[in-house]
Amino acid sequence: MEITWRWFGKNDKITLSMLRQIGVEGIVTALHEVPNGEIWSLEAIEDLKSYIESHGLRWSVVESLPVSEAIKYAGPERDELIEKYKVSLANLGKAGVKTVCYNFMPVIDWIRTDLYHPWPDGSSSLYFDMTRFAYFDTMILRREGAEADYSEAILAKVKELDKVITEEEKYDLIDSIIVKTQGFVNGNIREGDIDPVGIFRALLKQYDGITRDLLRENMRYFLAAIMPVCEEYGINMCVHPDDPPFPVLGLPRIVTCEEDIEWFLSAVDNPHNGLTFCAGSLSAGAHNDVVAMASRFASRTHFVHLRSCNVLPDGNFIEASHLEGRGHLVELVKIFQKQKADLPMRVDHGRTMLGDEDMGYNPGYSFHGRMLAVGQVQGMMAAVDQMQA
């Protein structure tokens, strides 16, 4: 696999020169300044690409070329947005950047409730707490019918939490779930937006009546429309699994398990329609056997996120060390190393440690924590290579 790193552009405090020193070969990035739905110009793509190359690295993967909401819920502007998406893809193809990660999650990309969940050793990880999430949904968002989506036990815990939660903690919960984790991934809400909860409610409304089957149909429609451009330019699309891999906030989620992946791969059965194998997202679902899924889908995997989770009682989960957890990364390295020598891989998130917490990095995207994970994965790769030689 090719060792890649998610880098957030020229203003990222983690510089390309730093990355070369730790063995990074390829960069995963996006034109973060271009608003969602606008065309990525060839000039802007080439400018960023040469900047990356001037540091002895290459632009391996786009993460993400975001799919606008109206494409996902099939709004009247859908075809126009797909045409723009195709122009961006063609421009990427002309510039030679040919692996494109995206997701098809309505309204909200990945979800965490705690950005600094402490480990006994003094470092911290991202965490998902079902009670706190249900609190956000039922007591802050006050979504109609939300209670029906949680067990009696969780609802009882929500009541208890309501007795002790402070206004500041409520603010932090909103900030973690719909602001801090979203803006930097070109999501719908950005830091500084006033009334994020109001914006969020309006976004959810757009999906009234959008069932799982309709969302699937909209994904099929989008993929079928862009495949000719992907074929012409040799672009591999790779959808990121839903994180966490289960329905949330009354929204359907359609890339959550083996059957879902099988479905979208065969709905548009084209080698350019592929998967980002995100072991972290998939391992957060107790229903997923991550190693079996990797074996099954390796040939349609164009990009790998190596990260691991532990699932805890109540449906809570924690981002585990790269050496343990349900992701079984050593097994995945064995599978993907055999599949394709230059398959791009990034370690995804890392722990926050050794001063990372003071640097203002995007949640999960620490320097020391990710560097440690890169070292661990490099070790796995070297050992697996020797064993397989």
**Residue choice 64, 113, 125, 188 for contact with ligand DNO (CB under 6 A):** 64
Q: Does 63 bind ligand DNO (CB under 6 A)?
A: yes
Give SS3 for 237.
strand
6 vs 157 by CB, closer to ligand DNO: 6
SS3 for 27-67 is EEECCCCCCCCCCCCHHHHHHHHHHHHCCCCEEEEEECCCC
- The count of chain residues that interact with ligand DNO, using the rule CB under 6 A, is 10
Is 32 catalytic? The answer is no
103 vs 138 by CB, closer to ligand DNO: 103
- The first and second tokens of residue 352, run together, are 């926050």
Selected catalytic residue, list 73, 348, 356, 361: 348
How would you class 22 by CB atoms within 10 Å of its CB: exposed for 0-12, middle for 13-18, buried for 19 or more?
middle
Q: Does 253 bind ligand DNO (CB under 6 A)?
A: no
**Min. distance of Cβ 362 from ligand DNO in angstroms?**
8
Is 365 catalytic? The answer is yes
**Min. distance of Cβ 144 from ligand DNO in angstroms?**
27
110 vs 207 by CB, closer to ligand DNO: 110
Q: Where are the beta strands (DSSP E) in 166-231?
A: none
Residues 6+ apart with CB under 8 A from 145: 250
Mask of contacts with ligand DNO, 231-250, x by CB under 6 A? ---------x----------
CA 163, CA 147: separation in Å to the nearest integer?
A: 18
Q: Does 364 bind ligand DNO (CB under 6 A)?
A: yes
User: Between vectors from CA 27 to CA 26 and to CA 30, what angle results, nearest 5°?
Assistant: 150
**Residue choice 185, 215, 290, 377 for contact with ligand DNO (CB under 6 A):** 185
Q: Does 264 bind ligand DNO (CB under 6 A)?
A: no
Q: Are 66 and 35 in contact (CB under 8 A)?
A: no
- The first and second tokens of residue 43, run together, are 């000039």
**Min. distance of Cβ 350 from ligand DNO in angstroms?**
11
Mask of contacts with ligand DNO, 301-340, x by CB under 6 A? ----------------------------------------
- The first and second tokens of residue 40, run together, are 């990525």
Q: Are 6 and 346 in contact (CB under 8 A)?
A: yes
219 vs 384 by CB, closer to ligand DNO: 219
- The first and second tokens of residue 113, run together, are 């409730």
State which of positions 82-141 bind ligand DNO (CB under 6 A).
101-103, 109-110
Q: Where are the beta strands (DSSP E) in the chain?
A: 2-6, 26-29, 58-63, 99-103, 114-118, 124-128, 236-240, 273-278, 301-305, 309-311, 317-319, 344-346
Is 117 catalytic? The answer is no
103 vs 236 by CB, closer to ligand DNO: 103
196 vs 364 by CB, closer to ligand DNO: 364
Selected catalytic residue, list 117, 240, 272, 302: 240
Strand order in the sheet with 309-311: 114-118, 124-128, 317-319, 309-311
Q: Are 261 and 293 in contact (CB under 8 A)?
A: yes
Selected catalytic residue, list 272, 278, 309, 361: 278
Is 101 catalytic? The answer is no
B/e letters for 129-155, b = 16+ CB within 10 Å, e = fewer, are bbbbbbbbbbbbbebeebeebbeeebb
Is 287 catalytic? The answer is no
Give SS3 for 106.
coil
Is 55 catalytic? The answer is no
38 vs 162 by CB, closer to ligand DNO: 38
**Min. distance of Cβ 387 from ligand DNO in angstroms?**
29
Selected catalytic residue, list 305, 309, 322, 356: 305
Q: Which residues are catalytic?
A: 240, 278, 305, 348-349, 365
Binding site for ligand DNO (CB under 6 A): 63-64, 101-103, 109-110, 185, 240, 364
